Amino acid sequence: MRRIALVTVILLLAAFVASPAFATTIIIGQPGDAGTGNCFPFGCSTGSRYQQVYNAALFPSPLLINQLQFFNTQFAAGTGVVETANYAIHLSATAAAVNALDTSNFGANVGANDALFFNGVLGGPIGGTTFTIDGTGFLYNPADGNLLLDIFKTGGSANGNVFFDARNGTFGTDSSRAHNFGSEFANWGLVTGFSDDGLAPVPEPATLTLLAPVLAWAAWRRHRRS
């Protein structure tokens, strides 16, 4: 009975101090401009690199980004087709300001902590109004600078037609883009969601601190009985 009681106490303490698993999603630009959208870079085959920068002030705290979301609610809602191609998606914290990306030297916009988030083939009907890309977790700290999304597109098949929700000249100081798909840069960009996808709870370091006296007491009891 004493052993059962001890195990119960340990489990209760661990549950008490574990971090709750609540997903956090920050959507920049929602709602998009009514009745329209933008096909760069997922629905058009005219370019190979697309960058979008997001104002750090829109992120209240560091975020472990595991998912990106794009939305198809304004133009041919839920019927869009993503162009089949290989997409290499990078994330970084950049010193470049919104509406001040270098539109000819894309490398100048990339932050020092640039990391590959996703690399693979995407394509086909999105099958709904939200297009989600799961990737390798990127810990973004807004104190390090604005957030840069950097997409390299290769091997396109020209079968895309999706116009994701966008702010076409109405983004203000929240976001802007640089790309080689065509024109329009400042105040333009896709409505974008960043999510940590609600990973499982992880016990805080305090767990070990709280459990230490319990474990020490158990060890003392075993020693005394022996």
Any domain includes 150: yes
Check whether 174 has a pLDDT greater than 90: yes
* Residues 54 and 192: beta-carbon distance below 8 Å: yes
Residues 6+ positions from 1 with CB-CB distance below 8 Å = none
Q: Is the pLDDT of residue 210 over 90?
A: no
pTM beyond 0.85: the answer is no
pLDDT of residue 216: 53
- Provide the CATH number for the domain around residue 165: 2.60.120
Q: DSSP class of residue 1?
A: -
Is 123 within a domain? yes
Q: Where are the beta strands (DSSP E) in the chain?
A: 25-28, 49-54, 63-71, 81-94, 115-125, 130-140, 146-154, 166-168, 175-179, 188-190, 192-195
Residue 8 pLDDT level (bands cut at 50, 70, 90): very low
The one-letter amino acid code at 90 reads H
Model pLDDT, residue 46: 94
**Lowest-confidence range among 10-14, 77-81, 150-154, 196-200?**
10-14
Token pair, residue 48, equals 């190979």
Per-residue tokens: 174: 């929240």
Answer whether residue 11 is part of any domain. Answer: no
Does 212 reside within a domain?
no
In 3D, which of 63, 72, 1, 76 has the Cα closest to residue 26? 63
What is the rounded average pLDDT of the residues 29-52?
A: 97
Show the tokens assigned to 60: 């209240």
* Residue 92: exposure state from Cβ atoms within 10 A (0-12, 13-18, ≥19): buried
The residue-averaged pLDDT of 39-49 equals 97
Number of structural domains in the chain: 1
Question: Is position 72 within any domain?
Answer: yes
Q: What is the mean pLDDT of the chain?
A: 86
Query: What is the pLDDT at residue 182?
Result: 96
| Mean pLDDT (whole number) for 146-172 | 98
Could you tell me if residue 90 is inside a domain? yes
Helix ranges (H only) for 125-205 are none
Q: How far is CA 63 from the centre of its chain?
A: 8
Quote the pLDDT of residue 200. 41
Domain range spanning residue 59? 24-201
Residue 206 covered by a domain: no
User: Is residue 125, in this structure, part of any structural domain at all?
Assistant: yes
When comparing pLDDT for 153 and 225, which is higher? 153
Whether pLDDT at 219 is above 80: no
CB 214, CB 13: distance < 8 Å? yes
Q: Say how many CA atoms lie within 13 Å of 156 toward its Cβ.
A: 20
Rounded to 5 degrees, φ, ψ at 121 are: -85, 130
Predicted pLDDT of residue 220: 46
Residue 14 has pLDDT above 80, yes or no: no
In the block, tokens 């976001």 appear at 175
Tell me: pLDDT of 192 over 70. Answer: yes
pLDDT in the model for residue 94: 98
